[in-house]
Structure 1
């Protein structure tokens, strides 16, 4: 799975913001002109909906600013609602998820309840349920959730500890 993550440009050994930005950027794509997404929501740039309106065109720099702001809000939501320690990959996976589904859906989710109960694998597996938009299962959401799930389950702190133990032996 790590090779698949690297193939789409996800730097799994980087910090959570870099990882989250890579995932969001890859799966949202960037369109400088406003459009209606798969369920009819007016969207622009990297999946930004808050201030998007049809007929709007933004520069690459404006899109980057919106991505940073929206992703920052997603990370803040994760930090606010998660009560357990998160490795950078899990934090990034959850921020990507929140970026896509919104803070309210995350706050009410079984995923969050399981995560805060310490049921990490069960929580990460919940991501596979979030593949529908407008009542339709979307292939792009299936792929995104598999990447988010892999990142959610991947613990870089364990990998570093294993490497350190190997160096000592």
Structure 2
């Protein structure tokens, strides 16, 4: 009686993975849109403040100090947006890693579960690739047996693993 082996990738063993990946993608996309909206708001604010600084400047000194403060505020806000973006990327990368890790654990348990069931098979029902794994030990056992089934008590030769009489 052969145990039927089900391939975990082809049979849809883990249908939750697709849903988890879609959830992570939607959260990632929502954060990206929110950061983009903040960036546009930041750029428009800097442009507005720059126009006010130019309009209110009475001499070059006021123009220079106004434009420097606008650029300083703009750089601080942009740096803050970059930090928020990196935090979002790290958060979503962790969520993606957890989803893939869970899928791999499910697939691993599926594989090992099937191999545990297959462990009770007789040698005649083992797959060919598994039989080939155990061939070297089978040949060594056959070389030690004599025609009457008793174990040969011989010495190994210097040239190899062959038994000498």
Q: Could you say whether these structures have the same fold, taking a TM-score greater than 0.5 normalized by the shorter chain as the test?
A: no
Structure whose CA Rg is larger? 2
Structure showing the higher helix proportion among its residues: 2
TM-score (norm 1): 0.25
